Structure 1
Amino acid sequence: MSEPALQATGLRRRFAHPSGDVEVLRGLELSVHSGELVTVSGRSGSGKSALLALLCGFDSPDAGTVRLDGEPLAAIPPWHTCAVLPQSLGLANELTVAENVALPLRLRADRPRPAEAEVLARVSELLDDLGVAALADRYPLEVSFGQQQRVALARAVSGRPRVLLTDEPTAHLDAGSRPAVLRLLRRCAEEGAAVIIATHDADVHRIADRRVRLLDGVLTALLDRPSAAGDP
């Protein structure tokens, strides 16, 4: 098998607490290959968000290593390498919805910037796929949080990253908008990205190639094709 697109080895992370340090990750191991969609389940507070922060360089482990395409992660990677949809979304409120989605394309420095027509076409495609095309000229604070979440997902995938990390990507969506998000996440994997999703959502687990559970700081493999049952 080819080398993993993303690999974590021996990850440990503890956080200070008045009653004593809390170690949320205890020698965690994870490998995800290009074209694979992996979901991470676990109770609230189990360390799912902490894990994603380590995998994308937002935080540093107390021990262990993270490798992207075989190379140690030494800094926050560019969007086209590793894109993130955090729970906080992180949209730029001074930019319109369309301008937010275009950012990874306009700021990419590893190759010539795409033509403006190509940027606009990609932005239009994603906003239409996610049902928010009519919001293109609005600002993030002028739309609902669920709509902001879809915009943030569009921004994360617009540059076709090699690795995509998403934290509860369906948490604020109504029933009508969820299928489009699930289709886009699945399509990202089918187009070659390594996709990791932290989620409590049984519908998200159904589209996974592999599901793991974070418990007591380590990952345990679950069914390759999850059943309809949700995470406890």
Structure 2
Amino acid sequence: MTALLARGLTRGFDHPDGRVEVLRGVDLDVAAGEVVTVSGRSGSGKSALFALLCGFDKPDSGTVEVCGAPLAAIPAWADCAVLPQALGLAQELTLAENIALPLVLSGRRGEVADRVRDLMAELGIDALADRYPPEVSYGQQQRAALARAVAIRPRVLLADEPTAHLDHASVQAVLGLVRRTAGEGAAVLVATHHDEVHRIADRGLTLTNGRISAR
């Protein structure tokens, strides 16, 4: 079943030298249980594409559907989760509280303790549960943000460069969680430059000149 579907996505931005067309009719589909990577040079539009797919931005034209429903109809903190490059952790909350936040907001408080503990242990940050984001490294914050994204067991996970800033052991933990999330039925789309991520994917795509092609 196709869990994430995009058709004809276009997006441009005004610039002093004229309008820059970043995405030029992108078509994309990711099935439930599938890991798909998107590569492309810096500035190719990967982050712009992810912003459209998760609803952070709106396309100039085109549509996005999650599990057959328009993206705008998807409840917050429910079906579509995102790990952005700008992590967006709440600075006034501990790492454990940040990870718990989607569960709390979706009314699933009974799952918080076990789910947060298990995810932090899997990603090697369980000793940092009571630390605040400014008190830990960027890589540790990144792993906490991934745990926050998957805490609700989303049907779609969008991860933008999830292995940047990580050492080898941490990369392996992240990749294991990404594959397990897909194994639980999520459609996973990962923007990456890392060969290790491509190796655990079911297929790869490349974004070039605003268009998607097979890698």
Residue in structure 2 matched with residue 202 of structure 1 by the alignment: 195
Cα deviation digits, residues 119-167 of structure 1 (max 9, x gap): 1011000000000000001101100001000000000000100100010
CA distance in 2, matches of 1:73, 1:95: 29
Cα deviation digits, residues 191-219 of structure 1 (max 9, x gap): 10000000111111111001000011111
Residue in structure 2 matched with residue 191 of structure 1 by the alignment: 184
Cα deviation digits, residues 11-65 of structure 1 (max 9, x gap): 0000111111110111110011110110000000000000000000000000111
CA distance in 2, matches of 1:193, 1:148: 23
Residue in structure 1 matched with residue 72 of structure 2 by the alignment: 74
CA distance in 2, matches of 1:57, 1:108: 18
What is the TM-score with the length of structure 2 in the denominator?
Answer: 0.97
CA distance in 1, matches of 2:151, 2:40: 29
**CA offset at residue 114 of structure 1?**
4.0
Corresponding residue pairs, total: 215
What is the TM-score with the length of structure 1 in the denominator?
Answer: 0.90
Q: Which has the higher helix share?
A: 2
Establish whether residue 146 from structure 1 lines up as the match of residue 139 from structure 2.
Answer: yes
**Which is worse superposed, 139-148 or 64-73?**
64-73
Establish whether residue 13 from structure 1 lines up as the match of residue 6 from structure 2.
Answer: no
Residue in structure 1 matched with residue 172 of structure 2 by the alignment: 179
SS at 1:61 equivalent: coil
Question: Percent sequence identity over matched residues?
Answer: 67
Listed as ranges, the gaps of 5+ residues in structure 2 are none
Residue in structure 1 matched with residue 157 of structure 2 by the alignment: 164
Note if contact 2:7-2:63 (Cα within 8 Å) is conserved in structure 1: yes
Residue in structure 1 matched with residue 50 of structure 2 by the alignment: 52
Q: CA RMSD in A?
A: 1.1
- 1:25 aligned to 18, 23, 26, which one? 23
Listed as ranges, the gaps of 5+ residues in structure 1 are 223-232
Residue in structure 2 matched with residue 64 of structure 1 by the alignment: 62
The 1:77–1:61 alpha-carbon spacing in structure 2 relative to 1, beyond 3 Å, is farther
Residue in structure 1 matched with residue 92 of structure 2 by the alignment: 94
> Structure 1 segments of 4 or more deviating over 4 A?
none
The 1:77–1:215 alpha-carbon spacing in structure 2 relative to 1, beyond 3 Å, is farther
CA distance in 1, matches of 2:152, 2:65: 21
Residue in structure 2 matched with residue 137 of structure 1 by the alignment: 130
